[in-house]
Copies of this chain bind each other. A is one copy, B any other.
């Protein structure tokens, strides 16, 4: 048996003790985890300094360095996020349906943990603590496979979390941080069909495609967020402009930022020049189709690739469309099933837009930036799914559980039994 398999089986074993914990015990555990993160701040920041040094020596880009970097304030925030998870509703044991048959059989559907969840991620060391907290709170074991660039930080954080488990008299193997970062070990992890109930990759599209293509275990993922704003002919244009600016510029590097603006041809002559001026004033580069360039000459030319692009940058693709149906067609063709926004005062357009799209989140007169577990009431988020199975959109603690049946009877049989 490989070392990975042996460790993973120990995680399965430990996950059973997590599944059996009551809410109060899990809350105590999460607070102990937060305490340990702060108590071991010196070790964690020192480990992070090693990672930063190695990354700088390799000439890593600034944005990546920023994601990797920890400081006392960020560590405080990580600990606070763990405590926040402990304040959420515990999904485990919830009865989601209850029915009594005429013959007295009582049928319940009850939430139970998934089992063992593998998180595969890059760069940000905070995912180590966030994912562990959410998975454990939902009664699961967790296998963490972080990026090599954060290996020291992740190890120090996982050590702190493991000490908290131990201090609570729990099996520290409920959190398994994989230290062997070779690709073949990741491949082995993705084949452990009898151990891993769900793999969640988080990071760049390359990592996610690698996981999706090689996994035999179930995977929930999103490749990218190509979020659209459609400005309907009946939109409140002032409101539409707010949604555009917030969606594109408030944090361009995240998956719920806007990437494409679609404008109804009937209002494009009025709306597009205002929109372009506002975007230009905020340093946004714009790429448009023929019709939009005719209205706003400053636009660069958009190619087909622009309409599929997740820029994660101050760039936006623009197209003029003939009404809501054309907007739906554009999004169906180029979209990523993540989040789409309509600005409109027309209930018919709004209804068509909602019904015509299969994206995980549809926003009506609200910013795409609300497409986030925290904002949508999940409290915390383990990822966003554009996989149309199990969970769709932002995933919280509940997405780390599954409903099973518990049936209580008094000797009922399906057929009469002769003595």
- Measured between alpha carbons, how far is A371 from B402 in the docked complex, in Å? 17
Shortest distance in angstroms between A74's beta carbon and chain B's nearest beta carbon?
21
- The answer to whether residues A250 and B415 also contact, given A112-B358, A365-B409, A409-B364 and a CB cut-off of 8 A, is yes
Q: A246-B417, A403-B392 are in contact. Are A408 and B216 (CB under 8 A)?
A: no
| Stretch from A23-31, A118-126, A172-180, A236-244 at the B interface | A236-244
Q: Please name the 6 residue pairs, one residue from A and one from B, whose CB atoms are nearest each other, closest first.
A: A366-B409, A246-B413, A369-B414, A239-B411, A390-B390, A361-B405
Q: Is A41 on the interface with B (CB-CB < 8 A)? A: no
Q: A242-B413, A364-B406 are in contact. List 4 more A-B contacts (CB 8 A).
A: A19-B355, A239-B411, A364-B409, A367-B412
* Contact B407 A366, beta carbon cutoff 8 Å: yes
Known: A197-B388, A245-B417. A364 touches B407 (CB 8 A): yes
A107-B376, A362-B404 known; A413+B213 contact, CB < 8 A: no
* Cβ 8 A contact of A402, one of B245, B392, B411: B392
Q: Which of A197, A369, A371, A389 has the most CB of B within 10 A?
A: A389
Q: How far is the CB of A280 from chain B (nearest CB, A)?
A: 15
Are B114 and A413 neighbours in the complex by a CB distance under 8 Å? no
Q: Mark A154-197, 1 if CB is under 8 A from B, else 0.
A: 00000000000000000000000000000000000000010001
Flag if B218 contacts A218 (CB, 8 Å). Answer: yes
**B405 close to A362 (CB less than 8 A):** yes
The answer to whether A250 touches B411, judged by C-beta atoms less than 8 angstroms apart, is no
Is A288's beta carbon under 8 Å from chain B? no
Taking a contact as CB atoms under 8 Å apart, the answer to whether B115 and A388 are in contact is yes
Instruction: Give min CB distance, A377 to chain B, whole Å.
Output: 5
Interface size class of A (residues with CB under 8 A): 35 or more
Proximity string of chain A (361-388) to chain B, C-beta cutoff 8 Å, 1 when within and 0 when not: 1111111011100011100000000011
- Judge whether A294 is part of the interface by a CB distance below 8 angstroms: no
- The closest CB in chain B to the CB of A12 belongs to B332
Q: Which of B241, B245, B406 is within 8 Å of A362, CB to CB? A: B406
Residues in B with CB closer than 8 Å to A99 are 377
**A10 close to chain B: CB less than 8 A:** no
